[in-house]
Structure formats: C-alpha cells, structure tokens
C-alpha cells in the first residue's frame, strides 16, 4: 500500500507540472488566429522594406565605389529563400509574443492612415532618439570617467628596501 501511495505521488509530481504548462498554452484555434494575424501584421510592418532601407542607409557611409557592391551583396544574401525563412520565424515570434486580439489591434492600427504615418516616421524618430540619448549618455560617461580619475587613490609609494640586520657572524667580525 505504501509503495502504491509513493508511486501515485510520483506520478502526480510528473503530471501536474505538464498540466500547468498545458493550461498556459494556447489551443490550436488560438495559435491559428495568432499566426494569421501575425501574417497580416508582417505585410503592414513592411519588414523586408525596412531591412532594405536600413542597408541602403548603411551603404551611404561607405565610399561611393563600394556602395553598389555592398547593395548587390545584400540582395544576394537576402534572397527569396532567406526572406521566406525570416518571415516564417518573424511571424512565429509575433504569434508567440502577442495574443490574437493584440495582433488584430496592431493590424487595425498599422493599417489605418495614422498607423501608416507613424510607421513611416518611426525610423527618423528612432534616429533622433539615438542622437539625443546617445549624446547624453556620452556626456555622462565622460563626466563619470573624470570623476573616477579624480577619486582614484594615488598609487602606493615604493617601499624602501628593508634595512639589513647584522648577522651574528658579522657582529663577531666587526669586533
């Protein structure tokens, strides 16, 4: 009887955590709704276009003779097969991160004229934000480096060599 109780207890210890995990998992219908809404959001977010625009902005930092080659290499690297893989992973990521209701709200918003305008203006906003915050962080780091340098204790003075003690044999020879 005791062995049976222990066995049942062990089974419960193994089953309960998996039941708790399953309770937190969306059902198949919800997953399908999330994936569908995430697919719609992918289209509205224009991820491929954003990647292309980012690479084109980066290319302007290169010497003019290297820009065309850089863009050509980008297009070769981000071929249709790679973009399909990115899309698949991106859609799953969104479906995991958001509920179907949230994704539908995002699709509704980003499909509206206001959402489209915000999406189009977001890169400039993020770039401006990076300049402002980056500049302030740089200033803070400079100030902290100066403060730490001023607070840094002076290195310890070199130790004087220890005085040699006369050895007993030396004392006898001095006499």
pLDDT per residue as tens digits for the range 38-52: 999 999 888 888 888
Distance of CA 151 to the CA centre of its chain: 34
Confidence band of 12 (pLDDT split at 50, 70, 90): very low
pLDDT per residue as tens digits for the range 39-93: 999 998 888 888 888 899 889 999 999 999 999 999 999 999 999 999 999 999 9
Using alpha carbons only, what angle is made at residue 49 by residues 96 and 30, rounded to the nearest 5 degrees? Answer: 20
**Cβ contacts of 56 within 8 Å, gap of 6 or more:** 71
**DSSP code, position 61:** T
Does position 114 have pLDDT exceeding 90, yes or no? yes
3-state SS, residue 46: coil
d(CA 41, CA 91): 8
**pTM for this entry:** 0.58
Nearest to 56 by CA among 42, 34, 79, 72: 72
Nearest to 41 by CA among 85, 106, 96: 106
The token pair at 6 is: 């222990």
**Cβ contacts of 74 within 8 Å, gap of 6 or more:** 52, 55, 59
3-state SS, residue 11: helix
């Amino acid at each position: 009887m005791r062995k049976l109780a222990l066995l049942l207890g062990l089974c419960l210890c193994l089953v309960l955590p998996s039941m708790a995990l399953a309770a937190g998992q969306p059902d198949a219908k919800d997953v399908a709704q999330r994936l569908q809404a995430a697919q719609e959001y992918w289209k509205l977010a224009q991820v491929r276009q954003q990647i292309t625009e980012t690479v084109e902005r980066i290319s302007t930092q290169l010497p003019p003779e290297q820009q065309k080659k850089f863009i050509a290499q980008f297009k070769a690297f981000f071929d249709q097969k790679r973009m399909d893989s990115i899309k698949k992973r991106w859609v799953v990521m969104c479906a995991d991160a958001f509920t179907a209701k949230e994704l539908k709200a995002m699709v509704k918003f980003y499909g509206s004229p206001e959402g489209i305008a915000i999406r189009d203006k977001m890169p400039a906003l993020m770039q401006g934000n990076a300049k402002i915050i980056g500049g302030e962080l740089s200033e803070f780091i400079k100030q902290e480096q100066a403060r730490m340098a001023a607070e840094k204790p002076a290195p310890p003075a070199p130790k004087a060599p220890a005085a040699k003690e006369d050895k007993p044999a030396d004392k006898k020879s001095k006499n």
